[in-house]
Amino acid sequence: MITTTLSTLIEMMLDYEVITFNNPKTLIESGLLENEKIDLVISDFIMPYMNGLDLLSLIKEKQPHIIPILLTGYSDKESAIKSINELGLYYYLEKPWDNSELIKVIQNGLDKAKLEEQLSQKLVVIEKKNQEISRLYDLLRRDFDKEMGNVLEFIVSLTNLVEAKDAYTDNHTRRVSDLAIALGKRKSLTQEQLRNIEIGAMIHDIGKVSTPESILNKPGPLTTAEFEIMKNHPEAGARIIRPISALQKPSEMVLSHHEKLDGSGYPHGLKADEISIETRIITISDIFDALYTDRPYRKGMPLDKTLSILKEDADKGKLDQELVGFIFEMAESGELQAIYHE
């Protein structure tokens, strides 16, 4: 009954052909995996013959590019999280799931599949980024345990996806990271705080893997509806990073990097001391780079205009006054221009 209902729902909402099986053995013996290209698979965890993780592993061997989604009970959640790196699990939903959320996850998964096809044509561009990716890898590896090896591959893969998907993000994270570290040093933060800031800045936009490319690269201002979709990326990014215990601090920065001190930010409208100094630094660095560099729909603003906007927001209580002051000091000393190779 459940598979029939879900099949009907997906076909009606997304206009995709859906094939259902109630026993993994029936699927394996059908020859479907050998003879048909499947875009996405949704599997339960507890099933006859084999569990969902074993089935998804077998399916991935036969169809490496398939998008796997797992439905789990609460007691199976830990197994699902541990399987993310091993299986390349795209998403897992706990029972009882919300049908609207499931449809959204499926659509995002199918968008991801299309994106991966496009990525195969961008290998030359991605290859040029290997040096930067290796730097992040080495940064994390020095301090994290052996388990972080798999975690790093996961983060690197997602960072690649974001940068290849979003033309604006290309080098944006590196600039934001460099500026954030410089601000952190002026604030006399500890080495651990600076490390977390660098990681948080590098992955702050990682949630954009779930944002449609048509919105990310739109050559004009976003509509209200499109902006609401874009605003989902901090929470999406935090969901990706939060299961990794060693990245709890950076995950908080990913979640809150669009919050403002006066409560006007998103996603949770945090205020003042509810926003950490590390997050405030990434927020200001992100805003400065967004204003100062080219976007898909406009050229970057002049330095004086960019600084004026930051000061105006600081005066309104949106941004940290001291940190904005540091930006002005860096502009006067030439340190800011050095970061942007000017």
Cα→Cα distances 212→15, 60, 216, 222, Å: 18, 24, 7, 12
Active-site entry in 112, 165, 187, 208 = 208
Cα→Cα distances 47→27, 74, 92, 180, Å: 12, 16, 16, 48
Beta bridge partners of 262: 271
3-state helix, strand, coil in the chain (%, to 5): 65, 5, 30
Look-up of token digits 């200001």? 284
Q: Is the peptide bond before 24 cis (omega within 30 degrees of 0)?
A: no
Cβ atoms within 10 Å, residue 262: 14
**208 in active site:** yes
Q: Is the peptide bond before 96 cis (omega within 30 degrees of 0)?
A: yes
Pick the closest to residue 84 from 63, 48, 60, 100 (CA basis): 60
Beta bridge partners of 67: 40
- Rounded CA-CA distance 40/63 in Å is 10
Pick the closest to residue 319 from 329, 330, 309, 328 (CA basis): 309
Positions annotated as catalytic residues are: 208
